[in-house]
Structure formats: structure tokens, C-alpha cells
Structure 1
């Protein structure tokens, strides 16, 4: 540093011209833009004028975008009715498959209702679950993609109407199993916890004994081994996506259309379809502006607030 504008332009255009062995471009335009932004950020952090301030760099990026103007692939959102369909396929709660059903129900309902990114779900600890007698559960997000300074955010999971789709109930059922393992209980005790609170046919979220906050920094969502064994490790973002794909496939939907991001995208899309405004949606998603939200609105809910509904066809 400092990197001359000519060098940066050469770097970006070389990426744009790179071709994979199958004949497809090696780098998406979004990747090229992100790398240009990273170069600028490094200069700014060092107190140096960024190369992006040179108009030639921005014009080069615009040219790359025009030459590669293909729609960005977006995953399908999971809406409320989709979530019900998936959860109805996880109502069998016998050992050992019931352990996976409880974990996946909690993971997906938390991801959907909390509009979580995969990385945010993966990073949650037991101590980040804050019971609230009036509202349900608050979840502390310590750091996110748009919060690199670590200021944090509190997301709320409200009480649900039906036990099957109640986020606090689903989370408490999973935490019962996790705590049984962490206390060193044997398999029989975990099976007992599964039989006592695992069935999604009644609410368990209003029990006052659950209002005590757990002071434990161990992971909330964890991988599973065969035989219903809960591992002490932390699930990663890729594993979250695999859970979504597996449960989507089990419900008869095309798993190629969905990913872990379908939970967050589903919340935003469902909220727009239900009449929520962007400000109220941003309170849950943590977006700092409306630019990304408008993409969900435009692509997944194009008829909401659209005058075509009122033209009398």
C-alpha cells in the first residue's frame, strides 16, 4: 500500500476474465466488488486514500457488472405455511430420532422467527438465552455480519399460539436435552427428558421454573452422532444449511432451491406479505438500511401494496 488505481483495475479485470475448466467465470461480480471493497477498507484503516476514490476504479467495476449482467441466484424463502409443513414431519419424538427432531425444530423455528443468519445461529451459547415472562425468550447476538464492532443485538422469540410452532417451546425442549447431557446424566436420563417435554402437543414455555437464566457459555446448537448422541461441539453454518435441506427434502420439496438462508429470507418475505413495514422488519433482522429488504420485497412479494390488485381484473 498504497495500491495505484491502475494496479487495482488490472487485478479486478483479471478476475473478471478468469475462466474455470468448465468454461464458466471463476469469479462472480459480487465477489469482485467485495474484494475491491476490502482493498479500499484496508487503505482507509491505514489512513491512506483508497484506490476506489479514483473514478477509473468505479467505472471499471461498473463495466464488469454490465458485461456480466446475470441475475444473482437467490434461494427460495421458507414461509410460515412451509415451516408448519416441515415441523409436522418432525412430530415423532421417540428415541433416538426424536433427539434430531427436537434439535432441528428448535434450530429452524429460532432461525425463522429470529431472522437469524447461519453464522449467528451457530454462535449462540446457552447463556445467550434470556427467558422473559411477558414476551417469551430474548436471544443475545454478540456479533453479526453487519456488526463487526460487537455492539450486539437482542432478538425476541414471542410465545406461539400452537405448541408445534411456538419458538420458546421448541427451544426449551432442546435445552432440556442439552442440559441433561451437560449434567453428566446417562442415556436413560436423556430419554426421560425426551419423553417428558419432547412431545409438541402442549405448551411448556409458561412454566415458571424455566425463567431462571442459564449461566453457561457452552454452545446452544450442537451436532449429533448416531444413536441420539449429542456432541459437545458447536454446529457450524454449513451444518445449519444441511439441516434445512434434509428437512425440506423430507417434506417433499426440492432441496436444491433452499439453504440455511431460506429461514431468514422466509421471515422477511412473510413479514412483507403480512403487511409489516421495513422498519419493523429491520428491528428483527438487524439490517442497517432498506436496500437488501427491498430485494426480498420486489422478488418474493411483488403483489404486496401493488396497484394491480385494485384495477378490477
Structure 2
């Protein structure tokens, strides 16, 4: 049953509660554990020694869900190569691993990808207790092949395009949080998008943290600001917890979204289904008639708020959709011919990179930024701000006037 309805001009807006219609899928979605166990089952050769289920359960319990999914994806690639080359996946032969690395190099894979694939293959052997004390991935020939690839193709890791605040902190080129917020529509979906962007930027959240935020994690403060409790994160797998500050603007946006979506508990950021259908006005609650005496067509818009959290691809899609709207509405100026590339460069990490660069530009040091964004060391923060440090470093300060 509709939870609320309003008529605005020729648009009837009906908001309903309950789960969204399920998308049809060929197979039921498997859990991270099921995906890993499936790959392990296919990797074990006939006649292999039995595997301790207790040891396997302990290994899986120590991994984050994202880690399990990454390992499963990497091992799928390794198993496919072994099947094509008619080689044994476990135990892996060091020379086979070198040939595998050569194939990946020919496919244009970066050094970081090769290192991760080898780490996943090492995990495979550990979980199956096969040569756990003498891993084939640690063989000298394999490490030498990896160093050779890094020497030939070594390059800095690709960094997500930053979404800096802009506006009150000064104009910056490209897309900004201020521009994207201005482009968010006033409907239910737009209210959610604005709250998502605002909270994700203030707290510098990873996508796994952003999609896990619940109402119980929010702590309003007397001055209008808020605190966000993060029970777990990528660098806090033991669940010691951390806190992040939220601006009054963010708290207002989140409050508006939860109020309009009638969210009283559970995850905050959810999928919004939008169903637009052309209807005759006489079928609506309030009839509208044209000058010729006939009923005007009106649009019936139904918003359905789901109960499950947004997915990683869903968050990326929101950033890119709102960025495109910002460019089309003139809130962000992108050089001609660069719009598609600028949008494609945005990812779930863009808010985190943007906040880091804003804090560096404001003069905060790497240690303070690492603490604010919950990094184990300041090295990542400094890497994100390498270009800013060059622009505002000692050389630019001393030579800017002397070498005009």
C-alpha cells in the first residue's frame, strides 16, 4: 500500500515501502565463502590428501568478504590458464607460474595485478595445506620473473579521479562535490544521491564503509554536526571501531533522505526504484482537463525504496550519473572532448581521494590525514597528494617570484 502520495502539476508521486522487484538471474547469487570453496574444489586434483575442514573454516573466517571475492576471481583466472595449458593447478610448478606471468604480461596486466594473482595462488596452497612451508610462488625463478616484469612495465598505480569539495574551499578544475550536489534532483532519488555524496566526502569513506552505514551509527551533536561510528573497516578487521566527523550540512541531507524515504532503522543508503508510466488524468486522484475538454495525460511516478544496501557498482553508477548531469547543467566545466574520460575516471574511491587532497591543500600533515581517514600509515595520503605537494612545495614557494 502507498505510504504517501502527492500531486504536483501533472505528476503524481507515490512512494511505497517494501522490497524492490528482483532482477532475474540465471543462478542464485553465491556468498563469498561459497565462491572460494567452489574454486578450491575444482583446484584439487584426484588423489590429493584430505583437507582439514576446520583449518579451512579458520582461514576463511580470518578473511574479509572482499578479500574472498578477490581471491576467487584470481583463482578462476589461474584455473582457466591451467586447463588451457593442461597443467596442474595444485601444487603449482614454479616454471608454470613463470609462464603464467608471461601470459599476463602479454595481456597488458600491470605489476600490481601480477603480485595479487601470485598472492591468491599462495593462499590457495595455504588453504589446501599444500607446500604451505615451501610455497611455489616464493621460488627464486618466480620472484625474478616478477622483478623483470616490474622493471619493464613499472608504473604508478592508477589513481581514482578526486572529487574535491570546491566552492567554499576554492575552485578546482574538473568535477567537485559542490558541482555534483547542485546537480542532484529534488526528487527522492536525488535527495538520496546528495546525502550519499555529502556523507561519503565528509567521512572519507571506502565504498564498503559507505554502503554499511546504518542509522544506529549516526550520533547527532548539539551544534548540528554529527559523528559516524565505523564498527569495522579495511584496516580494522578485528572490529575495534573508529569515529568520523560529519558536517551540519551532511546531517541535514541525511535527515531529509531518511525522512522522505521513511527509513527508521537499518542501512541508510538503499536502491530507489523509479517507475514512470503515462496515465490519463481521469485515472488519477485529481483530474486535469485541457482547453479542448479532454483529459490531459499525466505521469505517474512511483518510488520504491528497497531494504538492502547499495552495491559497489550502484555507488559508482550514482557518481557518474550525477557527474554527467552536473556537466550538462553547467555546474562543472570539462574541456571539450574530455567529458567521457572524466566521468570514467570517477570511482568509489574518488571521495576519499578528494578529501585527502583538500586536507593536504589546507596544510594538514600526512599523519593527521592518516588518522582522519583511518590509514595505518601516512604513505597513502602522501601518494594521493604528490601533485599537490609539488605545486605548493618548497621549490614553488621560493622560485615562483624569482623565475617569472
CA contact (8 A) 2:203 2:246 kept: yes
Report the structure number with the largest CA radius of gyration: 2
CA contact (8 A) 1:272 1:304 kept: no
- Which range is displaced more, 240-249 or 70-79? 70-79
Secondary structure of the structure 2 residue equivalent to 1:170: helix
**1:151 matches 2:262:** no
Q: Could you say if the C-alpha distance between residues 85 and 305 of structure 1 is closer, same or farther in structure 2, counting changes exceeding 3 Å?
A: same
- Deviation string for 1:154-188 (max 9, x for gaps)? 212133xxxxxx2222122112223x255xxxxxx
State the distance in 2 between where 1:66 and 1:106 align.
Answer: 44
**Of 384, 388, 393, which residue of structure 2 is paired with 1:296?**
384
User: RMSD in angstroms over aligned alpha carbons?
Assistant: 3.0
Identify the residue that residue 73 of structure 2 maps to in structure 1: none
Mapping of 1:97-136 within 5 angstroms?
A: 98-134=187-223, 136=225
- Deviation string for 1:117-143 (max 9, x for gaps)? 111111122211122325722212222
Q: Could you say if the C-alpha distance between residues 70 and 234 of structure 1 is closer, same or farther in structure 2, counting changes exceeding 3 Å?
A: same
Q: CA deviation at 1:302?
A: 2.8
Secondary structure of the structure 1 residue equivalent to 2:233: coil
Mapping of 1:39-188 within 5 angstroms?
A: 39-40=121-122, 48-49=132-133, 51=135, 56-81=141-166, 82-90=176-184, 92-93=185-186, 98-134=187-223, 136-159=225-248, 166-178=249-261, 180=262
State the distance in 1 between where 2:326 and 2:158 align.
Answer: 23
CA contact (8 A) 1:245 1:258 kept: yes
Task: Specify which structure has the higher proportion of strand.
Answer: 2
Identify the residue that residue 243 of structure 1 maps to in structure 2: 318
Q: CA deviation at 1:149?
A: 2.5
Q: Could you say if the C-alpha distance between residues 9 and 141 of structure 1 is closer, same or farther in structure 2, counting changes exceeding 3 Å?
A: farther
State the distance in 2 between where 1:100 and 1:108 align.
Answer: 12
Q: Could you say if the C-alpha distance between residues 53 and 309 of structure 1 is closer, same or farther in structure 2, counting changes exceeding 3 Å?
A: same
Q: CA deviation at 1:152?
A: 2.5
**1:263 matches 2:263:** no
State the distance in 1 between where 2:134 and 2:375 align.
Answer: 26
Secondary structure of the structure 1 residue equivalent to 2:240: coil
**Of 100, 103, 111, which residue of structure 2 is paired with 1:29?**
111
Secondary structure of the structure 1 residue equivalent to 2:318: helix
Identify the residue that residue 205 of structure 1 maps to in structure 2: none
Mapping of 1:205-284 within 5 angstroms?
A: 216=265, 218-226=266-274, 227-252=302-327, 253=334, 254=339, 255-284=343-372
- Deviation string for 1:58-90 (max 9, x for gaps)? 333221212223453322101111111111222
CA contact (8 A) 1:5 1:54 kept: no
Instruction: State the number of aligned residues.
Output: 262
**1:308 matches 2:383:** no
**Of 8, 11, 33, which residue of structure 1 is paired with 2:97?**
11
State the distance in 2 between where 1:136 and 1:222 align.
Answer: 23
Q: CA deviation at 1:300?
A: 5.0
State the distance in 2 between where 1:146 and 1:60 align.
Answer: 30
